[in-house]
Amino acid sequence: MIIRIFLASLSTLFIAWAALAAEPITRFEVAEDHTRFVFAETPVHDSGMPAHGNPFVTQGYIYPAGTLTAGTDGVLADGRPAFPELVLGTWTCDGWFVGDGGEATSGVWLVSRQIMQFTSGDVVITQGTELADVGVGNIRPITGATGAFANAGDVMEQTLLGFNSHMGVQARFEIPEDDYAVQRRFFED
């Protein structure tokens, strides 16, 4: 009898876990791996930072929301994830620097495509502008998605959290419950 109760409880747990696993992750953070950031030799500013029109490609790690708190690096000096047990997937970003490029501190500084490949195999792709402003949300369209993200909606919000000690970008992403939630919050601010 005890074994049946135990097995029934275990079965219920697995069913609940499977239902949760099918739900897309709607908030997550990205830590750029500075060893994978590559940009063209030209154009660059006198400082050596990429200037308007400079193409780039980079990669990093996807973590649960709240992992990258102030002063926390998500990437080690050698490019490995700082928290390998928390990695939810891989982030790949390519695009072009615009405006003041790598010297920007405010406004649009990148036009990019970002591909979030989760360990589950699910993918989210977003394409649009990125802001140089730390802590300011930016609405980006979701241009493709698979698996649990297939019906996630049309937009997501990206917020630059800042840079880690290796000058890699750290950012938070949120897919709203409905496509208008982010827009309402954006216009209410």
Q: What is the H or E stretch that residue 57 is in?
A: strand 55-64
The number of beta carbons lying within 10 Å of the beta carbon of residue 74 is 25
| Stated length of the chain | 189
Terminal alpha carbon distance of the chain? 58
What is the full DSSP assignment across 113-178? EEEEEETTS-EEEEEEEEE-SBT-EEEEEEEEE-GGGTTS-SEEEEEEEEE-TTS-EEEEEE--SS
Task: Give yes or no for a contact between 144 and 169, defined as CB atoms under 8 angstroms apart.
Answer: no
Question: For 23-32, how does the pLDDT look when each residue is reduced to its tens digit (9 = 90+)?
Answer: 678 999 999 9
pLDDT of residue 15: 40
- Give the C-alpha separation, 61 to 95, whole Å: 18
pTM (2 d.p.): 0.83
Tokens of 53: 């029109």
Average the pLDDT over 50-67 and give the result.
98
Question: For 136-153, how does the pLDDT look when each residue is reduced to its tens digit (9 = 90+)?
Answer: 999 999 999 999 999 988
Strands 108-118 and 123-131: antiparallel
Average the pLDDT over 46-62 and give the result.
98
